[in-house]
Structures are given as C-alpha cells and as structure tokens.
C-alpha cells in the first residue's frame, strides 16, 4: 500500500478517511488534525499556558508531544496514585519523555506523600458502608488535583488525552443508561463556569485510538502498555470492543456516532435539558468550587471514619 500523498510505502491505512499515509505524512496529518480540532472547538489560543495531564499511557504522552510540536507552552502534570508497580512504571515513562523534552516542565504530585494515603489505601479505608469504588475515587482525586495544580501554578487550561474511542465509549454508556445529565455535558471543552474551576479540553477527540497508538510507535514515544490493574473488566473496555466490531463492518461508524452526536446537539436536533446549574461555593478547606456548602467531596475523603466521599 502506498502513501496517498507521496507514493512511498504507507505505514497506516485509515478506512474511515479512505486514506493511507507514509510515516512523514501520517505525522503531518495528525498534527494538522489536532491543530484544526483546537481551532474549531476554540479550545485555547496560542499564548495560553496549558497543563497536560500525563499518566504515562499513550494518549497523554502523544498529546503532550503534539502540543509541543505545535509550539504551545505545554507542561506536564503526573499524579503518582500509588498503584504498586503499575504507578512506578507509569512514572518511569513520564520521566523518560520529560527528560527528552527539556523545553517543557513536569510537575509530579505523589498522592500518598501529600495526603497520607495512596489511592488503593484510600479505597481500602473507605470500603465499609457506602464506600465508592476505587475507579470513582481515583477519578475524584485526579479531577481535584488537576484543578488545584492548574490554579496554584497559573495555568489557563488543563488538557487531557481522551481520544475519539474514549468519547464514543462514554457516549454509548451514557445512552445505554440514559444518563441525560452526562449526555448534556459530554463535550471536548468544559468551560470554566466558576472562579477557580479551570477550563478543560480534549484535543485528541477527532483521533481514533488506533491513530494515537500508531503515532506513538512511529515517533518512538514509549508508554506503559499494560492496563491499570483496577481497570480490568471495566464497562468502557467492553463498549470499546463492541464499537470496534462495528467499525470492522462499517468503517467510520465510531466517528459518525460521536461527531454526529456533537453536531446534532449543537444544531438543536437533540434537545437535552441539563438540570439547573447548581450554586457553587468555595470549599471551606481547599477553596475549590463545590456544590455542597462546607467541605468538598475530595476534602471529606480524608476525614477519619467517613465511609463515602459523595
């Protein structure tokens, strides 16, 4: 198979775009596609300070690499969650990437060092009563810490490596369960709606996961290939598998499913009534916005004896 642009041997064929490209033109295509996504969703302007949440997985490292290549001021934030060897290996990949990109800063937050417990220890401590599952706890910790660090260090926006497959899987899950509130809010841009709530963006939402993996491979970006041990059996992985089976038979199905959802909602063809906006208050401990008066869900997590962070 030959590159559509230069006739050199192709490294990838993307059925949904009817496009085969060589290494050089594939990298160029990815950079252009992400740059176009940033522009068309008005994610951020060239002068903004971006904090990229980097886990050590392919998508976040690829995102960081792309933003740096596009000339943005993009620094990395890695949260060491303390999930045994998995977290240690993840950190190694992040450090390796950061070492080879001295133009960018890397901020590392060790959750256990800062708060006294790792995420698995926290989940264990909360498992009695109405305790949250570890993935839900982990999500809460990550969201809080990303927002805290971005605020404290003066970043304008937090960028995460969610790709089109992530978004399509989330959409499928939200539809299967008719999560109207989530459907109303699912978006590549989450604006800042309250002082102290940092804008969040997902610049990879128009790339298939297969394309981010291929980009990592051809650009020599090393990343942790194994899954978080707590993600095994996660519903989102099942949704992705189902969507890929559909994609095998109907090239472009994932892209149409997600992008046409965004388009239909934007054009008012799907009218989703989000619940009325909640009044937010600053948390009395950390100062971050929270819907409940008093302490936010994150700060309540660390109180001795509390069984739930909700």
Partner 1 sequence: MVRIKFRGQEWELKPGLRVKEAIKKVGLSPNAVLAVKGGKLLTEDVVLREGDEIELISVISGG
Residues near partner 1 (CB under 8 A):
1, 10-13, 20, 57-59, 135, 165-166, 169, 208-210, 212-214, 217-218, 225, 227-228, 230-232, 234, 236-237, 240-241, 244-245, 247-248
| Minimum distance from residue 240 beta carbon to partner 1 (Å) | 5
Question: What's the min distance (Å) between Cβ of 248 and partner 1?
Answer: 5
Question: C-alpha dihedral over 55, 60, 61, 67, to 10 degrees?
Answer: -140
Nearer to partner 1, 18 or 39 (CB): 18
First to last CA, the chain: 53
- For partner 1, the closer of residues 88 and 248 by Cβ is 248
Tell the smallest beta-carbon distance from residue 282 to partner 1 (Å): 31
Buried b (16+ CB within 10 A) or exposed e, 147-158: bbbbbeeebbbb
Closest CB to partner 1 among residues 231, 270: 231
196: left (phi > 0), else alpha (psi -120 to 50), else beta?
left
Least spacing, CB of residue 82 vs partner 1, in Å? 16
For residue 32, the minimal CB distance to partner 1 (Å) is 20
Which CB sits closer to partner 1, 61 or 111? 61
Q: Give Cα 68 to chain centroid, integer Å.
A: 17
Q: Which one, 228 or 299, has the nearer CB to partner 1?
A: 228
Q: What are phi and psi of 199, to 5 degrees?
A: -60, 140
**Closest CB to partner 1 among 23 and 148?**
23
Measured at the CA of 83, the angle between CA 127 and CA 91, to 5 degrees, comes to 155
Answer whether 270's CB lies under 8 Å from 261's CB. Answer: yes
Q: Sign of torsion, CA 243 248 250 251?
A: positive
**Least distance to partner 1, CB of residue 187, Å:** 18
Q: Which uninterrupted H or E stretch holds 278?
A: none
The least CB distance from residue 117 to partner 1, in Å, is 21
- Among 208, 204, 211, 209, which Cα is nearest to 26's? 211
Using alpha carbons only, what angle is made at residue 66 by residues 235 and 230, rounded to the nearest 5 degrees?
A: 25
75 versus 165: smaller Cβ distance to partner 1: 165
């Amino acid at each position: 198979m030959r590159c559509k642009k230069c006739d050199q041997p192709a490294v990838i064929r993307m059925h949904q775009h009817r496009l085969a490209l060589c290494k050089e033109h594939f990298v160029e295509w990815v950079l252009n596609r992400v740059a176009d996504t940033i522009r068309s969703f008005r994610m951020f302007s060239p002068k903004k300070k971006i904090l990229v949440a980097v886990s050590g997985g392919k998508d976040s490292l690829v995102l960081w690499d792309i933003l740096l290549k596009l000339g943005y001021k993009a620094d990395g934030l890695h949260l060491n969650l303390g999930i045994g060897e998995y977290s240690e290996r993840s950190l190694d990949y992040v450090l390796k990437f950061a070492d080879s990109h001295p133009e960018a800063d890397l901020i590392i937050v060790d959750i256990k060092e800062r708060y006294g417990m790792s995420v698995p220890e926290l989940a264990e401590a909360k498992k009695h009563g109405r305790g949250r599952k570890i993935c839900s706890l982990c999500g809460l910790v990550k969201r809080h810490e990303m927002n805290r660090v971005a605020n404290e260090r003066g970043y304008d926006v937090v960028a995460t490596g969610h790709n089109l497959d992530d978004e399509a899987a989330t959409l499928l899950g939200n539809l299967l369960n008719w999560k109207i509130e989530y459907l109303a809010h699912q978006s590549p841009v989450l604006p800042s709606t309250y002082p102290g709530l940092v804008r969040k963006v997902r610049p990879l939402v128009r790339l298939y996961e297969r394309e981010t993996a291929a980009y990592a491979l051809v650009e020599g970006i090393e990343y942790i290939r194994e899954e978080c041990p707590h993600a095994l059996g996660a519903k989102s992985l099942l949704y992705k598998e189902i969507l890929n089976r559909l994609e095998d038979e109907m090239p472009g199905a994932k892209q149409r499913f997600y992008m046409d959802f965004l388009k239909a909602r934007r054009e008012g063809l799907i009218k989703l009534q989000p619940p009325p906006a909640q009044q937010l208050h600053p948390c009395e401990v950390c100062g971050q916005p929270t819907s409940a008066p008093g302490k936010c869900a994150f700060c309540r997590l660390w109180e001795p004896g509390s069984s739930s962070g909700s």
